Chains A and B, each alone.
Chain A
């Protein structure tokens, strides 16, 4: 058997699916052939690395959109829209918590978890009120920042490549759609926790997108093609 005939057998060897007789022959060849030994080692490392690629938590907005579409389907059929049931909200809330926690862990793996607030029943109403006030302030803060970023990005838009500008507009439109969806869900049910989380998630994504846009404008203005290419690569993934 020549080296050309070994790669497939080496792949099967790594998978553990090679019959015994062939396995012995391939192993004997590997002892003699450095190139095939390197191939076997590389394939083993690739296989190992592939197993470390993890599932990715989808943004909560996907669940909200799905929920609305299925509810519309149910309404068409004259059945009860199941998203109105409390347990669905609890489920959606848990999805948001998981996605949010994962996102936080991805951003700062070293950050210690926040301690849950210790509160008796009497204080719960007060705490909820305070959190809602803070959330309103946070939203105002986001909106002000977004308006500023959009102004800067728009004023320097001419230096961007038209194809990149189109892609950026499409990305912003996508995030805007998530914002509109979340707002609509929140308007119809102000206590909808997943909708609120989804809104803030979408707003955060828009801030990051616009910040990247401005950074891109800066790199292109400075003629730093490598830096601009890096940002465009990141934007493609966002």
Chain B
């Protein structure tokens, strides 16, 4: 990952773990790595999972909110993501970064949620594969494009879900294409192509906003 993650605010210094009682619950701090936290969680350290939540919840909630576009739904998804993480952390092999593993859980939940919602909508209104809708034409434009955060958030919300997921993970969250591919279960080339499509669509949408 090319961007630093968010560290826990105001972390307390961590007292040493007693070698005679390695499962004793101790306060955890920012300098403890994610893999160490997972190991402590497995050993019964009750603080470790809370620290994992504190480190990753903000980013995962941001991704969930930007994927589904609704705070209530994003809250429910975040709860489901961490509940599943709590149940499955025992099986976390540590072959990838914990963040990658959590983002993969998050994206699976978000995409399942969106597909189930789309399926319900299509039963009611007829289906439309938005991935096949061509992007609006982008004028070359001599006017300099200014990108406000609000406009960008709105434009991201209009992206097809595959493009949106890849764009959020790569351009917003700062993961490499290799990591994005792993999280979304797609080929690295597909990740590049989805991010590429997303940027062009965003440009077209943002340019159209400037024009009007």
Name A's B-contacting residues (CB within 8 A): 7-8, 11, 34-35, 38-39, 41-43, 45-59, 61-63, 65-66, 69-70, 73, 82, 85, 87-88, 91-92, 94-95, 98, 170-171, 174, 236-238
- Whether B61 lies near A57 (C-beta < 8 A) is yes
Closest Cβ neighbor of B145 among chain A residues: A42
User: From residue 97 to 151 of chain B, which have CB atoms closer than 8 A to chain A?
Assistant: 138, 140-142, 144-149
Interface size counted on chain B using CB atoms at 8 A: 55
- Whether B147 lies near A58 (C-beta < 8 A) is no
Inter-chain CB contacts under 8 Å: number: 129
Which one of B31-39, B75-83, B179-187 contacts A?
B75-83
Distance from B80 Cβ to chain A, minimum over Cβ atoms (Å): 9
Closest Cβ neighbor of A94 among chain B residues: B10
Name B's A-contacting residues (CB within 8 A): 3, 6, 9-10, 25, 27, 46-47, 50-51, 53-54, 57-59, 61-62, 65-66, 69-72, 74-75, 78-79, 82-83, 86-87, 138, 140-142, 144-149, 152-153, 167, 171-172, 174, 195-196, 199-200, 202-203, 206-207
Contacts of B51 in A (CB 8 A): 91
| 6 A-B interface contacts by CB (under 8 A) | A39-B138, A53-B62, A56-B58, A69-B83, A98-B10, A236-B69
- Whether B50 lies near A70 (C-beta < 8 A) is no
Q: A7-B196, A41-B144 known; A54 and B62 CB under 8 Å?
A: yes
- Whether B65 lies near A66 (C-beta < 8 A) is no
- Whether B79 lies near A69 (C-beta < 8 A) is yes
Of the candidates A39, A41, A57, A171, the one whose C-beta lies within 8 Å of that of B72 is A171
Given contacts A46-B202, A50-B152, 9 further A-B contacts (CB under 8 A): A39-B140, A42-B145, A47-B199, A55-B61, A56-B61, A63-B57, A66-B83, A94-B9, A237-B69
Contacts of B72 in A (CB 8 A): 170-171, 174
Q: A39-B203, A91-B51, A98-B9 known; A55 and B46 CB under 8 Å?
A: no
Distance from B23 Cβ to chain A, minimum over Cβ atoms (Å): 13
- Whether B6 lies near A55 (C-beta < 8 A) is yes
- Whether A62 lies near B203 (C-beta < 8 A) is no
Distance from B211 Cβ to chain A, minimum over Cβ atoms (Å): 13
- Whether B54 lies near A95 (C-beta < 8 A) is yes
Of the candidates B6, B54, B202, B207, the one whose C-beta lies within 8 Å of that of A94 is B54
- Whether B140 lies near A46 (C-beta < 8 A) is no
Closest Cβ neighbor of A173 among chain B residues: B72
Q: A66-B53, A85-B25 known; A38 and B61 CB under 8 Å?
A: no
- Whether A49 lies near B152 (C-beta < 8 A) is yes
- Whether B152 lies near A53 (C-beta < 8 A) is yes
Distance from A233 Cβ to chain B, minimum over Cβ atoms (Å): 9
Q: How far is the CA of A42 from the CA of B195 in the complex (A)?
A: 15
Closest Cβ neighbor of A47 among chain B residues: B171
Q: How far is the CA of A7 from the CA of B61 in the complex (A)?
A: 32
Q: A38-B140, A63-B53, A82-B46 known; A55 and B203 CB under 8 Å?
A: no
Distance from B68 Cβ to chain A, minimum over Cβ atoms (Å): 11
Contacts of B199 in A (CB 8 A): 11, 43, 46-47
Contacts of B62 in A (CB 8 A): 53-56
- Whether A51 lies near B174 (C-beta < 8 A) is yes
Q: How far is the CA of A236 from the CA of B53 in the complex (A)?
A: 26
Q: How far is the CA of A34 from the CA of B58 in the complex (A)?
A: 41
Closest Cβ neighbor of A167 among chain B residues: B70
Contacts of A47 in B (CB 8 A): 171, 199
- Whether A8 lies near B196 (C-beta < 8 A) is yes
Contacts of A94 in B (CB 8 A): 9-10, 54
Q: How far is the CA of A55 from the CA of B152 in the complex (A)?
A: 15
- Whether B58 lies near A58 (C-beta < 8 A) is yes
Of the candidates A39, A66, A85, A237, the one whose C-beta lies within 8 Å of that of B82 is A66
